[in-house]
Amino acid sequence: IFEFGCASGPNFFSIKKELEDIYFFGYDISIQAIKTVNYNSSNIKYNFTHKLSPKSLEEFIKKNNIDNFDLAIFDRVLYMIDQKTTRLIFNIYSKYFKYIIIDDFHSDNPCWDKEKYIFSKNYIDILDDYHFQIIDIDDSQLPSSTAKKYAKRLIFVNQKL
């Protein structure tokens, strides 16, 4: 599992409760958040970092003798990133992911919320460029006061893996 925006690891710990044998690569821009993740850092199956590069993912994959990440999680982080950077992230990293879960603000017609704080992107359109097909879309379970109708959970599969 790869998580972009892992913070202090709440998704890691929830998943670890359900699945004991996992490989997890967590990235977050916040050095402080990464420092607070309470995990066994000597276990090569877990990596939390504030630095992300194709080389770091490839080293993790090689070191753990896996082919790719079965799942990538983007949990309410992409709305904070402009569309150009979002596309750049998927352009660089999507080839490593079999499935992607995005819990964020989605609209078929990209738009701002009433407060001009949240920009809802069209993730179906974006990920189509990287050979991902939508397999499920549902309302998000995470609340939002200003962009509630755009809060969605989307699941994609990589058509090339």
What single DSSP character describes residue 124? H
Q: Give dist(CA 108, CA 150) in Å, integer.
A: 10
What is the model's pTM? 0.94
41-45 average pLDDT score: 91
| pLDDT band for position 22 (cuts 50, 70, 90) | very high
User: Residues 83-113: pLDDT tens digits?
Assistant: 999 999 999 999 999 999 999 999 999 999 8
Query: Does the pLDDT at position 39 exceed 90?
Result: no
Look at residue 38 in the predicted model and tell me its pLDDT: 85
| pLDDT band for position 70 (cuts 50, 70, 90) | very high
Q: Which two tokens stand for residue 23?
A: 């490989």
Q: Output phi, psi for 135, to 5 deg.
A: -120, -15
- Sequence-distant (≥ 6) Cβ neighbours of residue 51 within 8 angstroms: 27
Look at residue 8 in the predicted model and tell me its pLDDT: 93
Q: Are 53 and 25 in contact (CB under 8 A)?
A: no
